[in-house]
Amino acid sequence: MLDKDVLEHGPRELHQNPLRKIWMPRTSNGLPQRPITQRRVCMTNCPTLIVTVGLPARGKTYISKKLTRYLNWIGVPTKVFNVGQYRRECVKIYKSFEFFRPDNEEGLKIRRQCATTALNDVREYLSVEGGQVAVFDATNTTRERRATIMKFAEQNGFKVFFVESVCEDPDVIAENIVQVKLDSPDYIHTDTEEAVEDFMKRIKCYESSYQPLDENLDKELSYIKVIDVGRRYLVNRVLDHIQSRIVYYLMNIHITPRSIYLSRHGESDLNIKGRIGGDSGLSDRGREYAMKLRKYIQEQNIKELKVWTSQMKRTIQTAESLGVPYEQWKALNEIDAGMCEEMMYEEIQKNFPVEFALRDQDKYRYRYPKGESYEDLVQRLEPVIMELERQENVLVICHQAVMRCLLAYFLDKTADELPYLQCPLHTVLKLTPVAYGCKVESIYLGVDSVNTHRNRPENVMAQRSTEDALQTVPAHF
């Protein structure tokens, strides 16, 4: 395992990647080598195949999508493969539950075919496209089907982790059906009562052949059984870091209705001057916003609202006006702009034109000299997200870059979109989980402020003119 290159030529010279500020060795031929593993999350050696198990309306797709969103956000390329969707592409029009009857030979053939096609796409994603986790979202209720999948995984060198959802609470199942089945393409032309009736019969088709993961027969497998929407969990043979993180995540999420309110601090003195970072207090307009926020919160009549701030003066001052207890999180502090702290964009362009250009080239990965990148921010914010998942009604008073990261998590935005999400001052975003996603309401509280959003300029080359560089800088005093 010893690196011959290093043994022969001595330790390699280090070179700091100008964008990410990461030290990497150069090989003896002078070219930078492939980067040494950067610890973000699990560097699984082999890709992981997550396989859902459970009757219809047990939350498999909900879990699949949510887990995928989380894994992608923390930097693990993940994709869902929903066999139902393959079936819909194959059988253009859904007639009735009869398609799912266990004695419907033609139906079975098509369904088996769809599963195979989906697995082929999984192989493509994990082995060729650089995916790290694939979520195989289907009922997978028979041992036979699961055996097929495991054989496939073994042949391709994928690790398998099962996520089984078991639930017999009729209220929960009914609610599931209302939330996500009635709007499914399958029932688009059916009225509600008919749809529910048909779906219940569909579930029945699976019930007789359902073989849950068995404590004894399946004791060598890696899995988690989620029972009654998280009241109880059975976890078996967690093999590695990513599985451990997945288990932790699944054990912290819930489906109790609630809302998350995201807001920035009120306008600050440095905001007005067009300066980034720092730790200034609120401007007059910022204080006005804090008062309006207090009024808004009171009117919303939120049950047991938790309020979180960063440890920077401007968010704390904003929370103080609310007149309710709040918790300070250092993890919610604004992105550290290192050597560019408290500078205006014009000054950054003047003093660090190359840095300024590099940032525009890859705003997500760019790390300020002696500072942070958005990528670092996401890692810093992960415990905040985990706790937000555990909590119910929360108001988070934070900062522009931080809010962009949190918003990207809830709205499933990619790393490229994240640093350009619009998070203006004096606007509250109310996020309410609904169906498989998140409803967003944007509430502008009617207090003027500067605009702090700087779009990506057209010219991102290091040699660009000052004018080109400052093209998109918002106005300030």
Which residue stretch of 105-113, 167-175, 320-328, 432-440 sits at the interface with another protein (rule: CB under 8 A)?
320-328
Instruction: Give the span between the Cα atoms of 144 and 159, in whole angstroms.
Output: 18
By CB under 8 A, name the one of 142, 211, 252, 472 that touches another protein.
252
Query: For residue 474, what are the contacts with CB-CB under 8 A and spacing of at least 6?
Result: 274, 450, 451, 452, 453, 454
- Catalytic residue numbers read 265, 334
Extract long-range pairs of 209-212: CB within 8 Å, 24+ residues apart. Answer: 209/102, 209/141, 209/142, 210/55, 210/141, 210/142, 211/141, 211/142, 211/143, 212/53, 212/141, 212/164, 212/166
Rounded least distance, CB 367 to another protein, Å? 9
What SS3 class is residue 164?
A: strand
Task: Please list every residue from 29 through 48 that binds another protein, using CB under 8 A.
Answer: 36-39, 43
By CB under 8 A, name the one of 74, 376, 381, 469 that touches another protein.
376
Q: What are phi and psi of 57, to 5 degrees?
A: 65, 30
Q: Is 286 annotated as a binding residue?
A: no
Instruction: Give the span between the Cα atoms of 101 and 103, in whole angstroms.
Output: 5
Task: Please list every residue from 165 through 184 that binds another protein, using CB under 8 A.
Answer: none
Q: Does 444 bind another protein (CB under 8 A)?
A: no
What SS3 class is residue 310?
A: coil
CA distances from 57 to 176, 394, 422 (A): 6, 28, 35
Rounded least distance, CB 6 to another protein, Å? 4
Between residues 120 and 311, which has the closer beta carbon with respect to another protein?
311
Q: Name residue 115's amino acid.
A: A
Number of residues that make up the chain: 477
Convert residues 280-319 into a mask of x (bound to another protein by CB under 8 A) and - (unbound): -xx----x--x--------------------x-x--xx--
Q: Is 314 annotated as a binding residue?
A: yes
By CB under 8 A, name the one of 98, 174, 248, 466 that touches another protein.
248
Between residues 57 and 246, which has the closer beta carbon with respect to another protein?
246
Q: Is 267 annotated as a binding residue?
A: yes
Rounded least distance, CB 201 to another protein, Å? 31
Q: Could you tell me how many residues of this chain bind another protein (CB under 8 A)?
A: 60
- A 10 A CB-CB count for 409 gives 23
Between residues 280 and 349, which has the closer beta carbon with respect to another protein?
280
Closest by CA to 252, choosing from 422, 129, 392, is 392
Closest by CA to 210, choosing from 110, 139, 265, is 139
Q: Is 266 annotated as a binding residue?
A: yes
- A 10 A CB-CB count for 333 gives 22
For the annotated binding site, the residues are 264-271, 314
Q: Give the residues lining the site for another protein (CB under 8 A).
A: 1-4, 6-7, 10-12, 14, 16, 21-23, 25, 36-39, 43, 219, 231-238, 241, 244, 247-248, 251-252, 279, 281-282, 287, 290, 311, 313, 316-317, 320-321, 323, 325-331, 341, 370, 376, 379, 387, 390
